Structure 1
């Protein structure tokens, strides 16, 4: 009779750990990288294009000019999701500690409670881990028409405050 209760307690505890692990698994686990902005190519001479087909209207490319007004360093953390490993390790440790308590049916109950409590605690500890810090730059440009445009870039490159820039297709180019 005692073996049946122990088997039921262990099965229930195992099922609860599996359920917690399934809830914690993120299919897109890992640091999600910040978007990468490619610098616009700089042509030393105008590129040669083929002739457009008959009736094709080429879209207008809007170009603005301005000066770099400010460059700010922006830091942020990448969100990190628990993988479930903390729940599994915590559940195993909790079951080992719970198995040391009590006798007979009480021991099985303590093992199951330790498994469940350890899984919850391990998942919470893993979820509190900080993600990597990502550093980007916010470049503010004072355009000639009086407005201000801002661009978030991974690196300002050789841009400095006061540099004259061209904005073409939402790409900054130093001129």
Structure 2
């Protein structure tokens, strides 16, 4: 079992180095589609939390079960496995949440929209570009005429 955990940890460290830093990540569904964008000015913003979609809870529960099963013997092992699974599910749910901002934007055409953006800091009065396809927002980013 220790060999398995070593392989998992080493593999995750190896693949984490493959991520490109400083480059915008694009949803794979955006490839080969014509995207449109709208430009506007942020009128107001407020912090929001995006709920876990279940993935963090699931991965946390499995990890907790595996780690909990390595503790104790007999009935103690069963309790440790159960506690590990529950604790892992809770931790995974919390880690699966993401901080974001709800932006109220006055578009250049006079309409007002509200979009949720994560991963960037925005401020009131900032000009932004909202990239969309079929009504779905792919990204919100600062906009400047350069």
More strand by share: 2
Q: Which has the higher contact order (CA 8 A, sep 6+)?
A: 1
Q: Is the pair's TM-score, using the shorter chain for normalization, greater than 0.5?
A: no
| TM-score normalized with structure 2 length | 0.45
TM-score normalised by length of structure 1:
0.39
